[in-house]
Amino acid sequence: MRLRCAVLDDFQRVATEVADWSPLADDVEVVPFSTHFPDEDALAEALAGFDIVVTLRERVPFPASLFARLPRLRLLIASGMRNTVIDYAAAEAHGVTVCGTGSSSTPPVELTWALLLGLARGIVEEAGALRSGGPWQSTVGADLHGRRLGLLGLGKIGSRVAQVALAFGMRVDAWSQNLTKERADECGAQLAASKEELLAESDFVSIHLALSDRTRGLLGPAELALLKPTAYLINTSRAAIVDQEALLTALHEGRIAGAGIDVFDIEPLPADHPMRTAPRLLATPHLGYVSQANYATYYGQAVEDIQAFLAGSPVRQLP
């Protein structure tokens, strides 16, 4: 009897196309789900008959209560090698092996610049006007050359965002709680004296920090109030780093020029979520990691993880 494998949140219906699942055909039945399960009850009901689950990034929490409701589950695969929404102790207690996959930092770097450029040059507004018979030129683009980009975080993603900024002729400032001048110098950035200085002096601010107790709510009402009225905020990292209500207020009151957001407090966003209609907002549905090459890695290595598990030698185990 074949094992059953559920692939969650396959919104584009490509999971079984971007990778070769045929090596598993004799042993595993693969069932993709293209809709998101809204709560634990729905998830537990849908996954009750599965031995293996493949989940994308950190969209679906796997707490102890869910593991307890999935006695048949034996293997959980999460894309990437870091996941904060899986209770690893509970997985072990219920006999569930947890494995990860590789993940590239290139797609979120590219999306960061897509959002920043889209905002700076009014791309969506101008393209929409052109197609709908609207005004010919209604915005005046914000220049990048000679402007200041403030980076909150200068790790693997932030440092590559800095490289692009330098190519545009921008000045790059950076800050994080553990950032050193030596690291900033390596990346061609200036070490900001403080978070507050970076926010107050930057023309564009982009967030590239991992979510933790130290970064949760890092930008609240007081911090957002420091931004120039001509400044743009980009967040392709984690929604909880920015106070969502404070951001919405700043956008509605015109206290910043705009925001480019790819991450939200609830995903997928409900139809009536205020982020869907906020002014001065260029928003994308968490596309940071969504690219052909990254999906090929996620699902290709998921197949490898399953093969190794079936052979009795799991690979890329988490945490």
Catalytic residue flag (residue 238) = yes
User: How many contiguous H segments (helices) and E segments (strands) does the chain have?
Assistant: 11, 12
Residue ranges of alpha helices (H) inside 96-243 are 106-120, 123-132, 156-167, 181-186, 195-201, 221-224
DSSP-derived pairing of the beta strands 204-207 and 232-235: parallel
Catalytic residue flag (residue 58) = no
Which residues, in sequence order, are bridge partners of residue 7? 32, 54
> Is 176 in contact with 123 (CB distance < 8 Å)?
no
Name the active-site residue from 57, 148, 208, 286: 286
CA pair distance 243, 60, nearest whole angstrom: 21
Secondary structure element (H or E) that encloses residue 63, with its range: none
Name the active-site residue from 29, 110, 197, 267: 267
Name the active-site residue from 57, 148, 208, 238: 238
CA pair distance 32, 253, nearest whole angstrom: 43
CA pair distance 256, 266, nearest whole angstrom: 23
Catalytic residue flag (residue 36) = no
**Both tokens of residue 53?**
């689950």
CA pair distance 289, 58, nearest whole angstrom: 11
Known catalytic residues are 238, 267, 286
